Structure 1
Amino acid sequence: MPVPTRSHALRLIALFGLVSLMADVTYEGARSILGPYLALLGASGIVVGMVSGIGELISYGLRPLYGYLADRLRRPWMFTIPGYAMSVLAVPLLALARTWPAAAFLILIERLGKAVRTPARDTMLSYAASEVGPGKGFGLHEALDQIGAVGGPLLMALILQLSGRYDLAFGMLLIPALLTLGLLTAARLLYPTPHQLEASPGDRGKTLPQGTADPRFRQYLAFVALSVAGLVHFQLLSFHLKQARLLPDAAIPALFAAAMLVDAAAGLLFGILYDRFGLRVLMAIPAFSAVVAPMVFSGFPILWFTGVMLWGAVIGAQETVMRAAIPALVSREERGTAYGLFNGIYGLAWFLGSAAMGALYDLSRGGVIAFAIGMELIALSVFLRMPR
């Protein structure tokens, strides 16, 4: 590997960002049409729900294991490349599925690939981001990632509109899948040892972060869990928009795409703010999250639209600042484990919070608002008690 410089760090971040962009075109494009495709193959509603739920359980629940293994083996590429390969190659194979069990199997393989790669990839990103600013590094990656998350579903919508063929739509995703693997191979060849991009904290005169057993890191995970659980997720937001007849069905995906663009811009902005002000920026996440539910469930167009855009900004902050903060809390030797734990807690909190708010919605929208605000206030109190 060449002598580490800031330009090398930026190049690796950009490569990972482009990898995520192409990967998101592939699997987010597929996810946008999986529901109707499974129905076309004869799956029932309960099957679709179970496949989705088991997939997310695999994706988030196994990340602590693969983060731990990445730390123990000290070979992050060994998890990153196979993980991406599993995800992006499983998707175009859906074009060949003729039964819903075959499609479900490929969907679960895609989710497993995400579990395998994410902690190791985030660890390598943290090495490069330390040279340009953790916030800016993760913010740039999130911005490129979300461009793919918007582009993939729009591409699928265009292909289905022109041809009406699901097999053609999935088959076309082989192109971004191969581009993903090509960019990933280039990154591996250029930067086989990405940890060399980061100077040790001791070299910079900083206090060395502690391990994952440190109480401060555990408090941070508690803060993450509470804040994530208190954010109303888009599935419930879009369900409410349809139930209350606030928006036509065809406009809801467009609204989601707009929120993802806000996500990309907010990720960059919050990243820059994090590099300037440090962990204090995290307080904005529960503060903004707490007002999403009251705005979205208000019934006033300007308020619910602003609330959905604010939801996108919060997602951008979570994906950027929450990840960027981990190197300041955990030693480099345990960073993969830390990212695995972070992702596992994030997924569990997302599931439990969504389930609770879904149940409350059927009883009272005011209950959803109270739950969301309450969780964010508790999250803020936990953060304020963290040792500085």
Structure 2
Amino acid sequence: MYLSTIGRSTAPTGKRPWAAVGANVVALGAVSMITDVSAEMVTAVLPLYLVIGLHLGPAAYGLVDGLYTGATAVLRLAGGYVADRTRRPKVVAQVGYALSAVAKLGLLAAGSAGVIGLVVAVDRTGKGLRTAPRDALITLSAAPEALGRAFGLHRAMDSFGAFLGPIAALAVLAASGQAFDAVFVASFCVAAVAVMVLMLFVRDHAPTAAPAPRAPLRELLGTPGVRRIAAAACLLGLTTVGDGFVYLLLQQRESLAVGWFPLLAVGTNLAYLLLAAPLGALADRVGRLPVVLGGYCALAAVYLLLFSPLGEWPLLVAALGLYGVFYAATDGVLIALAGPMLPEHLRTTGLALVQTGQALAYLLSSVLFGLTWQLWGAATATRGAAAGAVVATLATAVLLSRRTALSRRTAAR
């Protein structure tokens, strides 16, 4: 029974539970939605371009895919620390969004894998700087008992942008005669709109506590609850091999035409869009930890489906639907679970620590998955990932269910 109380709200929500989310969360959701339209216009075709266009093998692609998320992970800590020290999370987030927008123009000059890698690194630097301050703003803008709903709403709006991005890219390609430069320019313009929305409509929320100390990690890691949530994030990050691998395996198994490849991401994002807000609300009612653990069970099921007897459209519907369940149950809910465990004056740095642990674990996971695929085959790699997901889920349940200071912090929520 204790497991279901982790991260659960006990405060009354009243007749209008969504009112506790706040207008600032909606504005941040709009920023993320527009930004994701821009980002997914570029990234929806990137795995296929690298593997087919540049002829990268599974191991090389695993390294690129891992670097895409993990290489700038330390910048998440930098962004979180600067936001806590300056008490201006909006300004730090704004710099990150602007940097990612400018990076889209760099793709116009990219003609090799090396240059593309550099441009992607700049884009990911922007994401690394903005993610923790943005999530901290959400925790500071919503009522504590509504954090699951706040992150669910934000992630639903974010995933709606991710849903629209590949469709927008296909439309631009069709209108421009398959000119990728047109996609890059359009992506920059959309990203610039997101920066303007952030500047005009998002209000800054400085923590009421004192500014962060000069050695924030020492204080954070000295807190048992923080150590456990960070360790759990690393464990769970090791089970995630990346969307590109999942979509490439589906495309190869079902012999999908190249033109259909971007729509695989659309299927996942549609499920994510429909489920993010309901699962966030469910997490507030039954506990955030059980919802997160259920999401990673869905991820293990996705891995097993890739080499199951199921095929054709039932496989695509089941795999992409469960993949969307995984994202809806974990992406925002894990942050909603972690947020109340962190001291307010180190909220942004603490969230950055959790996200950095996940990102670095993801880097290792992608490299290992790519190597395993290349050496022993995709089936072995995928089944190993499924087994790892089950083990990490069980370990996380044990790690975060212990009756310690963590329980005292979260049981009141």
Normalising TM by the smaller chain, what interval? Answer: 0.7 to 0.9
Deviation at 1:359, TM superposition (A): 3.9
Q: 2: CA distance between counterparts of 1:213 and 1:338?
A: 12
Q: 2: CA distance between counterparts of 1:20 and 1:11?
A: 14
Matches within 5 A, 1:308-323: 308-323=320-335
Are the counterparts in 2 of residues 84 and 117 from structure 1 also a CA contact under 8 Å? yes
Q: 2: CA distance between counterparts of 1:225 and 1:98?
A: 35
Pairing 1:276–2:285 present: yes
Pairing 1:180–2:224 present: no
Are the counterparts in 2 of residues 119 and 339 from structure 1 also a CA contact under 8 Å? yes
Q: TM-score when scaled to structure 2?
A: 0.78
Matches within 5 A, 1:197-212: 211-212=220-221
Matches within 5 A, 1:87-102: 87-97=100-110, 102=115
Are the counterparts in 2 of residues 90 and 109 from structure 1 also a CA contact under 8 Å? yes
Q: 2: CA distance between counterparts of 1:370 and 1:51?
A: 24
Query: How has the CA–CA distance of structure 1 residues 107 and 368 changed in structure 2, closer, same or farther, with 3 Å as cutoff?
Result: closer
- Structure 2 residue aligned with 1:293, among 288, 303, 310? 303
User: What secondary structure sits across from 1:299 in the alignment?
Assistant: coil
Q: 2: CA distance between counterparts of 1:99 and 1:236?
A: 22
Query: How has the CA–CA distance of structure 1 residues 354 and 44 changed in structure 2, closer, same or farther, with 3 Å as cutoff?
Result: closer
- Structure 2 residue aligned with 1:141, among 123, 129, 154? 154
Are the counterparts in 2 of residues 226 and 379 from structure 1 also a CA contact under 8 Å? yes
Deviation at 1:14, TM superposition (A): 1.1
Aligned to 1:223: 232
User: What secondary structure sits across from 1:230 in the alignment?
Assistant: coil
Are the counterparts in 2 of residues 232 and 354 from structure 1 also a CA contact under 8 Å? yes
Deviation at 1:52, TM superposition (A): 5.0
Q: 2: CA distance between counterparts of 1:119 and 1:263?
A: 21
Are the counterparts in 2 of residues 283 and 380 from structure 1 also a CA contact under 8 Å? yes
User: What secondary structure sits across from 1:64 in the alignment?
Assistant: helix
Q: CA RMSD in A?
A: 3.1
User: What secondary structure sits across from 1:300 in the alignment?
Assistant: coil
Are the counterparts in 2 of residues 357 and 371 from structure 1 also a CA contact under 8 Å? no
Q: TM-score when scaled to structure 1?
A: 0.83
Q: Which has the higher contact order (CA 8 A, sep 6+)?
A: 2
- Structure 1 residue aligned with 2:365, among 323, 338, 353? 353
Pairing 1:30–2:42 present: yes
User: What secondary structure sits across from 1:298 in the alignment?
Assistant: coil
Deviation at 1:145, TM superposition (A): 0.7
- Structure 1 residue aligned with 2:173, among 152, 160, 176? 160
Deviation at 1:369, TM superposition (A): 3.4
Are the counterparts in 2 of residues 37 and 166 from structure 1 also a CA contact under 8 Å? no
Name the stretch that deviates more: 147-156 or 221-230: 221-230
User: What secondary structure sits across from 2:25 in the alignment?
Assistant: helix
Runs (5+) with no aligned partner, structure 1? 1-5, 199-209
Name the stretch that deviates more: 358-367 or 234-243: 358-367
Are the counterparts in 2 of residues 216 and 386 from structure 1 also a CA contact under 8 Å? no
**One-letter amino acid matched to 2:36:** D
Aligned to 1:265: 274
Name the stretch that deviates more: 46-55 or 167-176: 46-55
Aligned to 1:338: 350
Aligned residue pairs total 368
